[in-house]
Structure 1
Amino acid sequence: MTTQDLTNALNALSTGEHQNAIKGIKRGIERESLRIQSNGAISPTGHPKGVGSALTNGHITTDFSESLLEFITPVSESSTQTLKQLRDLQKFTLENMGDELLWPISMPCFINHQDDIVLAQFGSSNIGKMKTLYREGLKNRYGSMMQAIAGVHFNISFPESLWKSLHSLKQSNASLQDFISDGYLSLIRNFKRELWLISYMFGASPALCNSFLQGRKTDLPFKKLGKGTLYLEVGTALRLGNLGYTNSAQSSLRVMYNSLDEYVAGLKKAINTPSDIYSDIDDYTSEQPKQLNKNILQIENEFYSPIRPKRNANSGETPTDALLRAGIEYVEIRALDVNPFSEVGIDIEQIHFLDVFLTYCLLKDSPNMDWKEQARSTENLDAVVNQGREQGLMLNDNNTPRSLQSWGNQIFAQLTDVAKWMDKAYGVSYYSETIERMSMWVNDPSLTYSGRYVAKLKESGLDNGHFALELANKYKQSHIETDYSEFLKPWLEQQVEQSNEAQRNIENADAQSFTAFLDEYFHKN
């Protein structure tokens, strides 16, 4: 897309009834964090009883393991409110964790053996047992170490007013629902094309404890620091690379994003296609199951993608069936490392940047993306993950070699125009200020999160684990000293009681055997 095309879109949206159409962006955040002991080792204890049921508490739950907490904010139009809610959830949880701490980075703490990572437990109900067996499958397919990595998921939806304006300006004949789904898929394709920029800016996992490798060989040019730290001198986000959330079996999946039907068909094929790799692992039909089933994906959630189209599902409905029923409702950005420089794992500047960047991805032209182009975007991401802060790094821009700096500066020039339009609509200045400040990061890698993180490690002389432990103690103290602001403690305690009661009700209502329950689930899906 030429700059002129984006300019034309912004000009059209700057007139009359359309000029405030962008107002009303909604967001939600899911932040993961390992629970650790005061000595920095992973916690061996179960999910804290004081925060309620991991199965039914919608704000405080677990991810893969008992020790990997997940904090989930409700949908809000205020990014400052969202961050305060996230802080309150973490404060409340810390108050119910005794001497334990929240690990403040993405790559895990020192873990002696993957068996030290206890699978998340969700009670005796069929749905609870299904969740745990799914995690057992992940362990047996990929190992638990990969699943101990934490991230931040950023959910965003654009207001109906914007969709109606775009629908009108483009004189679309499609239904509004189909137009919205196509719009979100356009955003997703553009996000994938320039995902490397997110890794460059916000990648914050250039280092790890060598226990993470568990003896695995790697060709990455790691340097050593302290007793057991490995780091990439110019790397950005190991979490997003071959050591992180990858699935070799998924590399053959052709999940495409050119239409909703195409996307859903690709995922449904994966959850219904037997896998050669996992066929020897016992599934739910066996006496001692080690995974849900023997397909390439056990369920849709196993598909590792840096961005997902989403819709809130009804009870018993799969994510793809929800999309087919009513179209895309929002997108989930899954490419963010935990921000080690923020007490809650993400900060307001990141949210402002993502607002602008994702609006830009939505408004600019987005041609269909074939499999070769998806592969190029992955290659660009890998290059930035491993050597993103190397001066003069070359990327592949539509089969043309291009320096990261040249491409990044062009993107920021367009982001500047989007930010000015958003500032005017919202009556603020922070979008332009954020883009102006962050534009400097393109030409000065030391300003990026990974650049700052490596500098801090070298400056402190501490192992990665000791450095993170210092942060964990500092952040816990800050949480304890800060008053609740959005979620008051009595309300959070009420959620605990309600979640425990809800879990009991689900368990009491079960009338089928576990096998019959899964028979029915997989027959329907």
Structure 2
Amino acid sequence: MYHLLEQRLREIDTNQLHSYLRNARTGLEKESLRVTTDSRLSQRDHPAVLGAALTHPWITTDYSESLLELITPPQERAAQALDFLLNIETFVYQQLDNELLWTTSMPCVLAGDNDIRIAEYGRSNAGRMKHIYREGLAWRYGKAMQVIAGIHFNYSIDDAFWQPWQQVQGGAGELRAFRDAQYMALVRNLQRYGWLIIYLFGTSPAICKSFLGGRAAPEGMEEFNEYTLYEPFGTSLRMGNIGYTNSKENKTGVNVCYNTLDTYISSLRHAIATPHPEYVDIGVKVDGQYRQLNANILQIENEYYSTVRPKQPLQGFEKPTDALERRGIAYVELRSIDVNAFHPAGLTRRQLFFLEVFMHFCLLQESPLVSAEEFQAINLNQMLTAHRGRDPEVRLSCLGNSVLLRDQAKALLQAMRPVAEMLNAVHNEECYTDCLESQLQLAYNPNITPSARMLEEMLANQESFFEFARRKSLEHRDYFLKRELAPSLTQELQQLAATSLIRQQALENDEKMDFDSFLNAYLSGTLVDIKN
């Protein structure tokens, strides 16, 4: 099963390609809800002292005005990306006025959809479009799902690697086409084996009852106490049937194909261009007010809630599919990572090192095309792991075979050992085999996974999910308030915030077209020459 992986590892060693793997890049994105001192969702505006959410490169908002998103630029090492993230959050905490950042993926107490303010981005056309897109999500899916937080892991292989690797593989043709095919193979394996990240990293086995807004609890969910629901073997309810999944995918006809970059682009474009009757009934512009950007299966590419995305940085108001078509894949975004409530950054160094091993394993391991049947199995495996990942009897469908999750987890992690050894050699460190050993322990003992630890602490302290999350949030606030930033970094972040406010104001003052024309031009892909 791992013959091609072993062959490719030998080829890297024989052809001395280690140095080409040294300069991979890591970026992180972390979402956190701003909450009040009594741990209710903040109703305040995004703090101006943090800059403009529309134009700040590192500090923005996601769906809600209170859902903060911190973004690191690509870093030479994963640990440097984590340090960068810690510095940004330290700056944020030192500017916040009596608010907490919620430290779990599942939200705090919610008082219904009216409690969730959709993010505002100002009067510019770009700002209005971002807000209306979010209005559309509310009409289509409700607001509660949109305030679930997560961490995205962005990873790219050094461009210098692809040419010698193409020569070793005997590949002919354009280098970009080879690189895109290799990245899409990586993406397919990230989906194929992505259930493992849900098992190892899942930290959302419980929710506050208020999240359901009075709806009946889904099958399999039990009462932990008066205020909390949980699943006894759950790992990541965020990735389950109440969280970030395309629950309407079959109903609406979204059929995204990851077999090639061309099929990925064309299937997304089809969904973006195809009206859906249910969304037509909502209306697009009603009584002069936009409810959504359009009435199609997807308003824009970002509405497709996949666990992994091939990405290319955008230029101006470029559409993601257009950027991919023009310049190919620059990096891959893994989106299935829960916020780790046991670490202030939401992610540990060991977890990051393991993600690097996992990425290279998925790149080098054989990656057959995904059939319709396997795609269904991939989704089912992720759902089973999210809801029953620690159940010793739960079985997954892997390449047509029914296997115990725990056996498959052990086998996969053992297969990654030579990849970890390769990365040790690349960086002259031992951290990659060390981190693999720590993840193996979770495969052998589900009771020490982050999801099990959360439930164990809640039970030991006789606390609800809300009380657990609030306690951790207060601990992490104290950690960040005690950290000290270099004065030069503080000054840089203050300047970035001020500059972003000026940029937003300039956008609002320099509009050259009405919003209807702007939206039509964006959706038709003709705004690429206008710089944001």
TM range (shorter): over 0.9
SS at match of 2:396: strand
Select between 404-413 and 324-333 the one with higher mean Cα deviation.
404-413
Map of 2:529 onto structure 1: none
Q: Secondary structure in 2 aligned to 1:271? A: helix
Asked whether the 8 Å contact 1:423–1:431 carries over to 2, the reply is yes
Structure 1 position 354, deviation (Å): 0.5
Listed as ranges, the matches of 1:204-223 within 5 Å are: 204-223=203-222
Whether 1:306 and 2:324 are equivalent positions in the alignment is no
1:99-498 matched pairs, under 5 angstroms? 99-251=98-250, 252-284=253-285, 287-484=288-485, 488-498=489-499
**What is the alpha-carbon distance in structure 2 between the residues aligned to residue 290 and residue 318 of structure 1?**
21
| Whole-angstrom CA distance in 2 between matches of 1:375 and 1:277 | 24
1:350-373, Cα deviation, whole Å (9 max, x unpaired): 110010011000001111111211
TM-score, length basis structure 1: 0.97
Cα distance in 2 for residues equivalent to 1:114 and 1:485: 41
Structure 1 residues 6, 485: CA separation in 2 closer, same or farther (over 3 Å shift)?
Answer: farther
Distance (whole Å) between structure 2 residues aligned to residue 479 and residue 519 of structure 1: 44
Deviation at 1:259, TM superposition (A): 0.9
Does the 8 Å CA contact 1:85/1:487 hold for their aligned counterparts? no
Letter in 2 for 1:18: L
Q: Taking structure 1 as reference, are residues 247 and 5 closer, same or farther at Cα in structure 2, changes over 3 Å only? A: closer
Q: What residue identity is the alignment partner of 2:508?
A: E
Give the distance between the partners of 1:377 and 1:23, measured in 2 at CA. 31
Q: Deviations over 1:143-169 (max 9, x none)?
A: 110001001011000112332232111
Name the CA shift for 1:453/1:174 in 2 (closer, same or farther; >3 Å): farther
Which region of structure 1 is more displaced relative to structure 2, 404-413 or 376-385?
404-413
Partner Cα distance (2:354, 2:504) in 1: 39
Q: State how far apart, in whole Å, the 2-side matches of 1:439 and 1:161 are.
A: 32
How far apart are the structure 2 equivalents of 1:174 and 1:460? 61
User: Structure 1 vs Structure 2: percent identity of aligned residues?
Assistant: 36
TM-score, normalising length: structure 2? 0.96
Aligned partners of 2:205 and 2:234 also within 8 Å: yes
The CA deviation at 1:399 is: 2.1
Residues 234 and 388, structure 2, Cα contact 8 Å, conserved in 1 = yes
Change (3 A) 1:145 1:181: same
**Alpha carbons 1:185, 1:258 under 8 Å: kept:** yes
In the TM superposition, residue 286 of structure 1 has moved relative to its aligned partner by 5.3
* Matches of 2:411 and 2:230, distance apart in 1: 30
SS in 1 for 2:8: helix
Offset of residue 277 of structure 1:
1.6
Distance (whole Å) between structure 2 residues aligned to residue 154 and residue 352 of structure 1? 12
Shift of 1:487: 7.2
Q: Which runs of 5+ in 1 are unaligned?
A: none
Write the distance in 2 (CA, Å) between the matches of 1:38 and 1:285. 38
Aligned counterparts of 1:141 and 1:162: Cα–Cα separation in 2: 43
Bigger drift between 284-293 and 407-416 goes to: 284-293
Alignment partners' CA distance in 2, 1:174 and 1:457: 57
Q: 1:80: how far off?
A: 2.3
Which residue number corresponds to residue 39 of structure 1? 38
Match of 2:87 in 1: 88
> For residue 295 of structure 2, what is the amino acid of its counterpart?
K
AA matched with 2:70? F
**Secondary structure of the corresponding residue to residue 71 of structure 1:** strand
| CA–CA distance in structure 1, aligned partners of residues 410 and 522 of structure 2 | 49
**Cα deviation, residue 174, structure 1:** 2.5
Match of 2:19, SS state, is: coil
Aligned partner of residue 290 in structure 2, secondary structure? coil
Q: Tell me the matched-pair count.
A: 524
Distance change (3 Å), C-alpha of 1:437 and 1:524: closer
Q: Shift of the alpha carbon at 1:486?
A: 10
Residue 51 of structure 2 corresponds to which residue in structure 1?
Answer: 52
Structure 1 residue matching 2:16: 3-state secondary structure: helix
The answer to whether the 8 Å contact 1:88/1:486 transfers is no
* Letter in structure 2 aligned against 1:331: V
Instruction: After TM superposition, give the deviation of residue 280 of structure 1 in Å.
Output: 1.3
Q: Which sections of structure 2, spanning at least 5 residues, go unmatched?
A: 527-532
Indicate if the aligned counterparts of 1:28 and 1:156 stay in contact, CA closer than 8 A. yes
Equivalent pair of 2:424/2:433 in contact (CA under 8 Å): yes
Deviating above 3 A after TM superposition, structure 1's stretches of 4 or more consecutive aligned residues are none
- Provide the rounded CA distance (Å) in 2 between the counterparts of 1:425 and 1:258: 30
Distance of 1:389 and 1:233 partners within structure 2: 8
Query: Which whole-Å CA distance do the structure 2 matches of 1:284 and 1:314 have between them?
Result: 28
Q: 1:239 to 1:487 in 2, by over 3 A?
A: farther
Residue 108 of structure 1 contacts residue 149 of structure 1 at CA under 8 Å; is this kept in 2? yes
Once residues 12 and 286 of structure 2 are traced to their aligned partners in structure 1, the CA distance between those partners, rounded to angstroms, is 56
Report the Cα offset of residue 485 of structure 1.
5.2
